[in-house]
Amino acid sequence: MNIVAFCSAVGLLCLLAAVYMYRKGKRVTVKNDTDSIRGFDELTEAVRCAVNEILNTDLDGSGLAPTEIRKKKRQQAKLRLSTRQACFGDTGSSEYLKEYIKELLINRLGINEATICRIIPFNESGSMSATELFEYMYMIYRRHCGIHVFGRMVKDHAFNEAKSDDEGRPVYSIDEDDIRRAFSECGLEPDYTDMLDTLTQRCYEKLYGHDVADLLIMDPDIDGVSGGVGGCTRIEYSYLEELMSSGRDVGKKINSYDVIYCVYRGRLIRMKFLSFGREETLERVVKNIYRYNSKTTLSKRNPVLHASMKNNSRIVVARPPVSDSWAFYVRKFASTDARKIESLITDKNSDRVIALLKSIVKAECNFVISGNTGGGKTTLLKSLIGYINPSYTLRVIESSFELNINNLYPDRNVHVMQERGDFTIYDAITASKKMDTDVLILGEVNEPKVAGAFIQVAQSGSRMAITTLHHETTQKLIEYLRNALVCEFGLTDVHVAQKQVVDSVSFDVHMVHDVTGHHYIERITQIIPSQKDERYELKDIVVFDTEKKMYRFVGEVSSVLPASVREAAG
């Protein structure tokens, strides 16, 4: 009996070991057809399970040859990295992941020309949602027209034309009717490739991308995207439900997660046909989109964060309770060719204005570009850098990498630094003084200490210093820089501080844009210091005539500046 029991125990242990090894190395096979998948949500879940299964497979116990195991481990690591980085603006990771999903759809989930319309009714456009139609049309355009899709769609279907609100004011929006009309008018022929790309995109954005905002965020023609910035908040709902419970229609109210805007060539366009569908989806997008270059984690203690994506887009995210809803802002800086100043300054007499700006740069004058957010300051700055002496060294300092100077001017001696952790912009400015700096380019003056440091460098640290600020008038700009020197650098005499400012900055170029997206230079103002004391004179050299849409030269440049600048202004 002892021998029999022993043999039985050994046999049982061997059986358990065999079962364990089998389960450890086995793959869960997904049925190779879509009969059991009844809709898009089930397909998306099947893709999620397939990807997770591949990532969690223990290859060491698979029984494969060592060389094959190493190969599959490399593939597994690449897939894992792509799932983490796709939402960071990493085009390589997102495209790799989409191709992987497409392969799963075809080879493991049985998607083909006969089954794809069971998931999305491509053969009946009237049964497709506006979001599906938009993304389907997007894929058709991309196959025919290349990467500049949204711009071509706007051109073909006049998506950027103004509509009127109840009071006759111009507003810009794209609604479901616009999408259906555009799809019916689209003269490009679709094929199965477009259908498969659309289904792949839909699966990708739901699982790893930015949901319905994904194509907008990654489109090179779009300047910015924001979500969760409008609609009723959760706090309002409970109260509104009571007010509207007497039979009024409450089904049409707009939630914060229904609101998505994009900026195209300076025009803010409401994408009324897009919605995240529920707050949890918007929350997921907000929690993921900022993580590439973030210094901390979004939380109740840190409810608003500034960060950037891998493609240098600027990110701002906000969350309750500080924010009334989950919200994100994406501002991109690569949507226009910044080297072509003629594409930014376009109105009558623009050639003379451009000539004046070129002469200011070539004369190595210190200047600032002022204006509101989105006014075109950064684009103008990048354009003007092209006129700096090519033999000069450029040191660029930013709160986060946005200017992209290295990519625009790869042949220049350019070194770019950003603040990170305990290393501040002020530290970077201080370091630049020891880096053979000819020209200091400060992406933005965003705090008094930085403002004071900029003036110090402009006085003695380089041949030329350029920056951007947000002040509406030149007088306010001078007062801000003056007060920064007093507050942060121990100057006790306000008059001395003011003289340092007016002696250091020669011009204020003020950029604006209107609701139609029209960018223009509102004025170019020269700051003329007194030779005796801290007093100064402000002289407008150029002003923009908003009625006639033209630039007027209204003043002469002071004789203290080089003749080339005076001639350009004359």
| Residue 61 near residue 24 (C-beta atoms within 8 A) | yes
393: in domain: yes
The CATH number of whichever domain residue 358 belongs to comes to 3.40.50.300
Asked whether residue 74 is assigned to any structural domain, the reply reads yes
d(CA 126, CA 81): 39
Is the confidence at residue 182, as pLDDT, over 60?
A: yes
User: Domain boundary residue among 76, 107, 138?
Assistant: 107
For the residues 456-461, what does the mean pLDDT come to? Answer: 79
- Domain assignment present for residue 243? The answer is no
Q: Distance between terminal CA atoms of the chain?
A: 115
pLDDT at 31 over 50: no
The answer to whether residue 94 is domain-embedded is yes
pTM assigned to the model: 0.79
> Could you say which of 107, 126, 142 is where a domain stops?
107
- Whole-number average pLDDT of the chain: 86
Task: Give φ, ψ of 300 to 5 degrees.
Answer: -65, -30
For residue 136, being part of any structural domain is answered with no
Query: Do residues 358 and 507 lie in contact, with contact meaning Cβ atoms separated by under 8 Å?
Result: no
Is 395 part of any domain?
Answer: yes
Q: Output 230 or 210, whichever has higher pLDDT.
A: 210
Q: Which stretch of 196-210, 236-250, 360-374, 420-434 has the lowest confidence by average pLDDT?
A: 236-250
Residue 239 inside a domain? The answer is no
- What are the tens digits of pLDDT across the range 52-105? 999 999 888 878 888 999 999 999 999 999 999 999 988 899 999 999 999 999
What's the pLDDT at 245?
46
Higher pLDDT, 233 or 274: 274
Share of the chain above pLDDT 90, in %: 58
Give how many domains the chain has, as a whole number.
2
Least confident stretch, 179-193, 208-222, 431-445: 431-445
What is the signed CA dihedral for 277, 281, 283, 287, rounded to 10 degrees? Answer: -150
Asked if residue 474 has pLDDT above 90, the reply is yes
Task: Specify the pLDDT at position 562.
Answer: 77
Does residue 383 lie in a domain region?
A: yes
In sequence order, the 6+-apart residues with CB closer than 8 A to the CB of 478 are 498, 501, 502, 505, 527, 536
Q: How confident is the model at residue 24 (pLDDT cuts 50, 70, 90)?
A: very low
Confidence band of 243 (pLDDT split at 50, 70, 90): low
- Residue at which a domain ends, from 107, 138, 173: 107
CB 448 within 8 A of CB 348: no
Which residues does residue 393 pair with via DSSP β-bridges, in sequence order? Answer: 413
Domain that holds residue 347: 341-569
- Of the pLDDT bands very low, low, confident and very high (cuts 50, 70, 90), residue 445 is confident
